[in-house]
Amino acid sequence: MLDNLQIMIAAPPITVDLVVNGILIGAIFALASYGMALVWGVIKIINISQGEYVILGGYVAIVLAEHGYHPLLGVPLAALLLAVLGWLIYRLVIFRIVDRDMFTSLLATYGIAILLQQLMNTAFGGGVRIADAGLGTRFLFDGMVAIAEIKIIGFVLAALLAAILVWFLKRSRTGQAIRATAQNPRAARVVGIDTDRVYAATFALNAAICGAAGALVAMAYTIHPYIGLAYTIRSFMIVVVAGLGNLVGVIAAGLGLGAAENIAAFLLGTQYQLAFTFSLLVVVLVTRNLRRARRREALQ
Amino acid sequence: MRLAQLAAYAALLAACAVAPAFVPEYQTQLTELFLFVVFALTWDLVGGQMGYNSFGNVLFFGIGMYACAVTQVGLVYDVGAYNAARGGGATVFLFDADQYLQGLMLGLPAGALLAALVALLFGALVLGMRGQYFAVCTLGLGFAAGEIANGWEWLGAGSGMVPPGAPDDFVDLGRLYYYLALGLAAVTFAFLGWLYTTRFALAINAIRDDEDKAEAMGHLTTRIKVIAWTIAAFFLGIAGGIYGNLKRFIDPIDVAFPSATIGVWMILMAILGGKGTLAGPLIGAIIFQITKELFWTYLLGWQRVALGLLIVLIVVFFPQGIVGWVRARPRGATAQ
């Protein structure tokens, strides 16, 4: 670990490489976490199966690539397919637990997550997969900094999708209904908004966001059937750090997490990257709780 | 009624004590069942009785398992060298009967104490959170522990660790662990049965019902919560030590810190039987173990899919559990 730290100090381009690559991946984390913020803020449930939608989206891109299509087509297709799946999951399970306590939603969605993991394992096999986008790598600083072009494209697409999403929520009628329901579901019902349909739309939209993010993950990174929970945890962490409805915070936290993970993986060894992510969640929550406790607020 | 219950539990215990003589083919499943009873009971102490729904109790289970195995090995050999050899290599690691027995007798308490210590240290930090923050934080703890063990070379990293083997002329190990597991389940059940008659149980129930009011009434809520979690961790630590030796192989993620299997199953068993009751987790564990074995027999290849579906179905449609359902029925009341 100290050896690697010395390498980082001796060769700043390596640090640049880690940070830039981390930020590019972090944009995808931020995009996925926006879905969790949406569901948490509007339906008031925490969905543990977020990460599985991401991975499913990734498999859409991989299957497309296998059939000779460009995996970038997987971004819209994954969004579409996952929207249908999200709507189905809402109609089958989620609407029954909307008004129940948080624990019920956590456990039920954890069950969905396990179900999807096993189905993906059966359908696509348990190995680590990647969708080859067939793009090159750009080198900076005499080849000390290597950036895959697909990561740059992923970054741009993630930013574009986030911009579309914000526009949709601010300007479209459905988006306005979603925001009204988030503010006060009862008042929304009073003015004639069908909140059940809003919830279904929100959940489908969330799954679509995750699916699109997942297609990008499969191209810029790797996926396997059991890695979904890491994305759920990352999303949760980003939303907790940023706060609900804080778009700038979500972006900053997402990019920061991506960079931090990359540096940690370099310092500790890649075998500890997930350990770092999960431990960071605990540290973030404990820190936040201690700060709240000092102000004598219970963390509800 | 109370006497009848005691008699029923005693009869159940006696039946389990003689069962291996009559149905030796179910000995392994029954051993696992006794450990599941411990999982469900200890989860329910914190989740059902105190209202702190932990997704990460496997943390203590895995710590107990590794601590026990490391103690067993470490008393005789160097742990790093033992794990590096992975059962092969030039050195042969043999344990004679005394060494094996000593290792086990020291390893199980060591696992329990280390697990309890971790609960004590983390408890004050983690139990300050409520609701979803506590649940997700403990979920992260369980997964973090698994990933750390997965990278830690001294513990065998991703290749896992094999607990010491017993000499050939040793007692029947299956039988030994059967009675250890049965004893642990009986002691845990009796201890919690006693605990739930004390004022401590009233305090943790008060925390579940309204923590702010409980604190306003003068309960030292943090201390009470940490004690409850530590008790759960203590018994889970012993269960982990037994489970590791029973499986004869400790995989860091699938056996020691299996958040997605045993970690969820313990919650499911408690809910299925009835959260916040003494008999509930016991009944839930029995029914769950039977269901799981049936799934493994008749739905091979799809058993984990079926279990995921089962979680969703029970949580969504049957949250009151068997005990809650039976209690609600005679009064003609609808399910809570």
Percentage with pLDDT > 70 across chain B:
96
Q: Is the pLDDT of residue B335 over 90?
A: no
Give the pLDDT score at A296.
67
Query: In this prediction, does ipTM exceed 0.85?
Result: yes
- Closest residue in chain A to residue B265, using alpha carbons only: A111
Report which of residues A132 and B117 the model is more confident about.
B117
Q: Is the pLDDT of residue A77 over 90?
A: yes
> For helices B97-126 and A273-294, what crossing angle results, to 10°?
40
- Closest residue in chain B to residue A117, using alpha carbons only: B305
For residue range A21-44, what is the model confidence (pLDDT) as tens digits? 899 999 999 999 999 999 999 999
Contacts of B310 in chain A (CB under 8 A): 111
CA separation for the pair B34, B26 (Å, rounded): 12
- Closest residue in chain A to residue B143, using alpha carbons only: A278
Token pair 């009967």 is found at: B97
- Judge residue A169's burial from the number of C-beta atoms within 10 Å of its C-beta, 0-12 exposed, 13-18 middle, 19 or more buried: buried
Give the pLDDT score at B63.
95
Band (pLDDT 50/70/90 cuts) for residue B336 is very low
Report which of residues B36 and B248 the model is more confident about.
B36
Distance from CA of B9 to the nearest CA of A (A): 31
What is the pTM for the complete model shown?
0.90
Percentage with pLDDT > 90 across chain B:
47
Give the pLDDT score at B331.
58
Give the pLDDT score at B88.
63
Residues B130-154, mean pLDDT to the nearest whole number: 91
Q: Is the pLDDT of residue B3 over 90?
A: no
For residue range B61-120, what is the model confidence (pLDDT) as tens digits? 999 999 999 998 888 888 888 887 776 666 777 788 888 888 889 999 999 999 999 999
Q: Is the CB of A97 less than 8 angstroms away from the CB of B316?
A: yes
- Judge residue A235's burial from the number of C-beta atoms within 10 Å of its C-beta, 0-12 exposed, 13-18 middle, 19 or more buried: buried
Q: Is the CB of B302 less than 8 angstroms away from the CB of A106?
A: no
Report which of residues A115 and A299 the model is more confident about.
A115
Q: Is the CB of B140 less than 8 angstroms away from the CB of A279?
A: yes
- Judge residue A9's burial from the number of C-beta atoms within 10 Å of its C-beta, 0-12 exposed, 13-18 middle, 19 or more buried: exposed
Report which of residues A141 and A270 the model is more confident about.
A270
Q: Is the pLDDT of residue B306 over 60?
A: yes
Arithmetic mean of pLDDT over chain A: 89
Residues B271-286, mean pLDDT to the nearest whole number: 91
Q: Which of B265, B311, B313, B318 to mutate to test the interface with A (most CBs of A within 10 A)?
A: B311
Q: Is the pLDDT of residue A91 over 90?
A: yes
> B127-139 b/e with 16+ CB inside 10 Å = b?
bbbbbbbbbbbbb
Report which of residues A53 and B78 the model is more confident about.
A53
Contacts of A300 in chain B (CB under 8 A): 130-131
For residue range A139-186, what is the model confidence (pLDDT) as tens digits? 776 677 788 888 888 899 889 998 999 999 999 999 999 999 999 999
**A137 DSSP β-pair partners:** A148
